[in-house]
Every structure is written in structure tokens, then in C-alpha cells.
Amino acid sequence: MNTYLNTPQDLAANAIAELGNMAEGSYSHFVVAAATAAAGKTTRPKLGIAIRFKPEVGQHDQAYPISADEWDVFLNDARTMCTEIPKVFVVDGNRFSMPI
């Protein structure tokens, strides 16, 4: 059973690597960076983003398992809803999950 990473702090503490913020590249760029960072450490690298919402949004900060289909939407929304562009992390997908 996988351990859930619920917060940005959980994500950062259990990450194999921090890869930068979402604005620094495309989803495919980060997939390649994740595979490189995770080589020899896991057979299942998984991307996650650390979402830190502005207080007025009324949401809790969270770790989120980003996908290619959601990348552009999240990046665009982050510009108005978040305190910063989300940072991208790679975790061991065999050990960790993030809530959707």
C-alpha cells in the first residue's frame, strides 16, 4: 500500500528530486528530467506538483499528481490562484501516491 503525500511539505520531504517550477518547461520536459533524476532509484517515477493557493481562493495547499492533459490548465490557473508557480517533484511511484 502506498503512502499518501497530501501536502507540499510531504511531497518535498519524500521527493527523489525537485525539478523546478512548471513555467520552466513542458510536461514532456519534466518527464525526461524525472526519468533522469530517478534512474537507479525507482522503476516508476511519478511527477507531482506542490500547489500553494492564495488565501482568498479558500483551498488548502496540496500535493497533486499532474498529468499531461492537465499541465497547461494548471499552469494557467496557477498564475491567478496560487502564491507561486507550482514546483515540480519526482517521487517513487511504487511507494507514494497523491490525492486527486
Direct distance between the N- and C-terminal alpha carbons of the chain, in angstroms, rounded to an integer? 17
Is there a contact between 89 and 17 (Cβ–Cβ < 8 Å)?
yes
pLDDT confidence of residue 59: 86
Q: Write out pLDDT tens, residues 41-96.
A: 999 999 999 999 999 998 889 999 999 999 999 999 999 999 999 999 999 999 99
Q: Where are the domains of the chain?
A: 3-97
β 96-97/3-4 pair status: parallel
Quick check: pTM over 0.85? yes
pLDDT for 1 beyond 80? no
Q: How far is CA 44 from CA 35, 38, 93, in A?
A: 9, 8, 5
